[in-house]
A and B are shown apart, each in its own frame.
Chain A
Amino acid sequence: MCYPDNQEDLEVKKRYILGLLSLLAGLTFSQQSPFQQRVQQAIQSGGSKYAEAMKQDPDQALCSQYRDKIPAELVPAFLERQRKLIKYPADGKLMGDWRLGEALFTNPRKGNCYACHTGDPREAGAGNMGPGLIGYGARGTSEAVVKYTYDKIYNAWATMPCSLMYRAGYHGILTPEETAHVTAFLLDPASPVNARR
């Protein structure tokens, strides 16, 4: 943690270790350490809009604390909390209209899925941060596959804590009905994602 690991600047090191000790003491005695308070102060200096946008929910805070790799013993409770956040369409249908799903998949303000995934193989500008989804429908449309796909789109953190994929349904970017449309875009045999090539 101590940055200057290859320097002789002992005075700085000494001060830093003292700072670290007081930081640890702070952790023990109060909820927010002096360092955390200092980080908050820096965030506040960015202005009220930034400070407001940087507020976290408890699991965002947990991911940040553990640098996106939470300890194994915290994973089951994390997944359970996230699973409880998933909502389903009133009619109970988890596969909607793939055509509507295509637009939602593409729209940068909605799914924005091409930022990270392939989908329709004709889309040349797809990113590759996430797994490619061409031919995703090959796994069939069993109840388990449809539910897994729906859940993943609605709340990615319910299967993978702190993953890059954001919780589109939980945050209201996709409604349950819209999530079902995107699910259909991936699974419907008629969708271009699953076109025979």
Chain B
Amino acid sequence: MRNRSLLIGFLLALGLGLSIALTQQELDPYKEAERQRELFRQTAGILPGELYAAQGEELFAKKRGPRNVSLEACDFGLGPGKLEGALTQLPRYFADTQRVEDLETRIVSCMVRLQGFRLEEIERDEVKALVAYVASKSSEMPINVVPRTSQEITMYNIGRELWYHRAGDRDMNCAICHESYAGRKVRLSPVRSPRQGLSNEWPAYRFEADKLYTLQDRIAFCYESIGIAAPEFYSEPYIALSIYMLAEATRGKNRFTEMPGFTR
């Protein structure tokens, strides 16, 4: 009888200990992401980001569009078809389009200029899969965005203006959280500054949303969460903010995470 109540007491204590451990795990977003990632590895054997990248690889190599060509001649800044490390130096200026382009915009440019698609028939999901594929060739590499041409420097300066631009009924800008209070938390989410590596995990699979988010998707999500309607995809605000953040991340000597990333 006494043994039995001891046993029950022991089990109760164990249960309490476990539930505390579980709660603590859920409260730390990084540990929770790591746990979710392992669950995917164990149950599916593959990460969702890798699936998107595989889909993108197929799209990349396939002859498509009115001109029936692949994207293998697309130049991401290192030469046609050179994908190794391509993401690390984007956004950058491209002479052929005479614009500063990020990875997403560059993919769209190539689909238009090489494959002959019309802008309005390009599907966002295809661009996202292609982003995942090209990004996968820059996994864990150092970020290397250094504005050099006048166009890149202008775009960086526009990005800095937008970074500090307070607007909306929440009176927000990017800097007030991601600069002044970097290192602290909004709810449970740790907030980083660009120098601390903000933007180094995108594109990433977000398990909370069960979707792949590119950096543009993530910036759009940020705007919406502070009550400002997000810019249209591929427009200049994304490219300006991206070059600003990634140039600052470069100065902070940051690397990309595994690509595509895995996060909440």
The answer to whether residues A38 and B175 also contact, given A3-B247, A53-B229, A114-B187 and a CB cut-off of 8 A, is no
Closest to A23 in B: B157
A54 touches B176 (CB 8 A): no
Given contact pairs A12-B148, A19-B150, A50-B230, A42 touches B236 in the complex (Cβ within 8 A): yes
Chain B nearest CB, measured from A11 CB (Å): 9
In contact, B167 and A55 (Cβ under 8 angstroms): yes
**Given A50-B229, A52-B229, A128-B185, A42 and B169 contact (CB-CB distance below 8 Å):** no
B153 touches A53 (CB 8 A): no
A71 interfacial by beta-carbon distance below 8 Å: no
Whether B148 and A56, one on each chain, are in contact in the complex, defined by CB atoms closer than 8 angstroms, is: no
A133 at the interface (CB under 8 A from B): no
Which A residues are in CB contact (< 8 Å) with B215?
none
Taking residues whose C-beta sits less than 8 angstroms from the other chain, chain A's interface range is 35 or more
Give A54 to B228 CA distance when docked, in angstroms: 7
Give per-residue flags for A73-96: 1 if the beta carbon is below 8 A from chain B beta carbons, else 0: 000000000000000000000000
CB of A127 within 8 A of CB of B166, answer no
What is the CA–CA distance of A41 and B161 in the complex, to the nearest angstrom? 12
Bound CA span A126–B186, Å: 8
Q: Is the CB of A39 within 8 A of B158?
A: yes
Is A28 positioned at the interface, with any CB of B under 8 Å from its CB? Answer: no
- Residue A63 at the B interface, CB < 8 A? yes
| Contact B166 A63, beta carbon cutoff 8 Å | yes
Flag if B232 contacts A46 (CB, 8 Å). Answer: yes
Asked if B186 contacts A127 (CB within 8 A), the reply is yes
Q: Please, which residue of chain A has its CB at the minimum distance from the CB of B165? A: A64
Pick the residue among A16, A128, A166 that contacts B169 (CB under 8 A). A166
- Nearest CB of B to A162, in Å: 7
- The closest CB in chain A to the CB of B156 belongs to A3
We find that the number of chain B residues with CB closer than 8 angstroms to chain A is 48
- Name the B residues within 8 Å of A47 (CB-CB): 229, 231-232, 235
Contact with A173, one of B169, B176, B230 (Cβ below 8 angstroms): B169
Instruction: Return chain B residues, CB-CB under 8 Å to A19.
Output: 150, 154
Residue of A12, A63, A127 near B149 (CB, 8 A) is A12
Query: Contact flags (1/0) for A160-190 with B, using CB distance below 8 Å?
Result: 0010101100011100000000000000000
* Chain A nearest CB, measured from B225 CB (Å): 9
A128 CA / B175 CA spacing, docked (Å): 17
Interfacial chain A residues near B6, Cβ < 8 Å: none
Chain B contacts of A53 at CB under 8 A?
A: 167-168, 223, 227-229
Partner of A157, one of B158, B171, B175, B188: B171
A50-B229, A157-B171 as given contacts; A164 in contact with B166, CB under 8 Å: no
A residues bordering B, Cβ < 8 Å? 3-4, 7, 9, 12, 15-16, 19, 35, 38-39, 41-43, 45-47, 49-50, 52-56, 60-61, 63-64, 67-68, 114-116, 124-129, 157, 162, 164, 166-167, 171-173
B residues whose Cβ falls under 8 Å from a Cβ of A: 23, 27, 146-150, 153-154, 156-158, 161-162, 164-173, 175-177, 180-181, 184-189, 191, 223, 227-232, 235-237, 240, 247
Closest 10 CB pairs of A and B: A46-B231, A171-B169, A49-B229, A42-B236, A166-B171, A47-B232, A53-B228, A50-B231, A60-B166, A45-B236
Q: List 14 A-B contacts (CB under 8 A).
A: A3-B247, A4-B146, A4-B147, A19-B150, A35-B157, A50-B230, A55-B167, A60-B167, A60-B171, A64-B164, A64-B173, A129-B186, A164-B177, A173-B169
Besides A3-B147, A167-B171, 6 new A-B residue pairs in contact (Cβ under 8 A), listed by A number: A43-B162, A50-B230, A64-B161, A68-B175, A128-B185, A162-B176
